[in-house]
Amino acid sequence: MPALKQLSNGIEYELVRKIAEGGMGLVYEADQLGAGNFRKTVAVKLIREEYSAIPEFQKNFIGEARLVADLIHTSIVQTYHLGNANGQYFMVMEFVRGVNLEQFIERHLALGRPIPVDLAAFIVSRVARGLAYAHQKCDREGRHLNIVHRDIGPKNVMLAYEGDVKLTDFGIAKALDLMYNEEGKVIAGKDEYLSPEQASYAVTDARADLFPLGIVLTELLLNRNIFRAFDRAQSRRNIQTMPIPRFSTLRPEIDDKLEAIIQKALTRDRERRYQSAYDFMTDLEVYLYSDRYGPTIEKLGVYLKELFAIENNDSRPPIYSSRP
């Protein structure tokens, strides 16, 4: 693998292996090198070479790096550095040794087993915690950034083998002074994980992230996305008009308390939906912990290692796919 060198400050990154790729970018596991044989494992995100010279892609990539630079939260993948090597921009990020949520679901499907209800709720509560932080983030002048992720889905949630849950990929997020996808003309996000307002080309606010987070919760509980259709346009129509089922009829372990949380998250009228990620998180945590000893990061970590047959000394996570 080649090495990237940031000439301005002498930091060198040695690419180890490709761990994700998408239409416009690549993500590598890499070693950050330093004095005295210092090595730190990081993730390096690159624009594909054929796109790296296009100003619009450079602008979006730089905008993403600027946006996430100060998002420092245990439930968000951290960004350390933006560099340029021979005209190619790259982003240095926290390396999460684990799998993404899509792989987590696929593993359960392959084994023919359901995801435990409490772990599904716990994972989504952690994502909601990260969103609550991002949605309230202000810049250094104290201006509210009005961040909307706009791409909540299983591929963009990482599960570390230690049990940490981390939201990633703010590449199409909208925020103060950093909005490149003009709402009203284009749809940002994946068709089967949109909010009704995204699907109808409406202007979004933070509540638009909560409907797809509700979709993720139901997908974890059912091992399928009820809105997904073969045709992308049909997926959008399903999100806008398909009757929302009683999920307890699809999985009996879903009790009335969790059913109420799901129904509120999947309310199409955003004035009646959860008004904040914090409220969504709080209801999930009350459901999980008010009358019992609920799941923990450590419990999820043990479950993941058993699920993927990972030994404590195993240092190689499976390759995950994500939209870089």
The number of beta carbons lying within 10 Å of the beta carbon of residue 144 is 12
Burial (0-12, 13-18, 19+ Cβ within 10 Å), 111: exposed
Which of 284, 124, 280, 282 has its CA nearest to residue 206? 280
Euclidean distance between CA atoms 115 and 147, whole angstroms: 31
Q: Which two tokens stand for residue 16?
A: 């180890």
pLDDT at 8: 37
Place of tokens 């999820």: 300
pTM of the model: 0.90
pLDDT in tens, the chain (324 residues): 555 654 335 678 889 999 887 767 789 999 998 888 899 999 999 888 777 778 877 888 888 888 888 899 999 999 999 888 877 889 999 999 999 999 999 999 999 999 999 999 999 999 999 999 999 999 888 889 889 999 999 999 999 999 999 999 887 777 666 555 566 556 677 889 999 999 988 888 999 999 999 999 999 999 999 999 999 999 999 999 999 999 999 999 999 999 999 999 999 999 999 999 999 999 999 999 998 899 999 999 999 999 998 644 444 444 443 334
Q: What is the pLDDT of residues 134-186, one digit of tens each?
A: 999 998 888 898 899 999 999 999 999 999 999 998 877 776 665 555 665 56
Which residue ranges form the domains of the chain, and what is each CATH number? Answer: 3-94 (3.30.200.20), 99-307 (1.10.510.10)
> Which residue pairs, CB below 8 angstroms and at least 24 apart, start in 214-219?
214/262, 214/265, 214/266, 215/266, 216/101, 216/124, 216/127, 216/152, 216/153, 216/154, 216/157, 217/120, 217/121, 217/124, 217/261, 217/262, 217/265, 218/247, 218/262, 218/266, 219/105, 219/154
Rounded to a whole number of angstroms, the CA Rg of the chain reads 20
Helix H or strand E segment including 270: none
pLDDT at 156: 93
Burial (0-12, 13-18, 19+ Cβ within 10 Å), 174: buried
Beta strands in the chain (DSSP E): 3-6, 11-21, 25-34, 38-47, 79-85, 88-94, 98-100, 157-160, 165-167
Which of 288, 304, 316 has its CA nearest to residue 101? 304
pLDDT at 176: 61
Euclidean distance between CA atoms 176 and 145, whole angstroms: 5
pLDDT at 313: 47
The number of beta carbons lying within 10 Å of the beta carbon of residue 293 is 8
Active site residues: 151
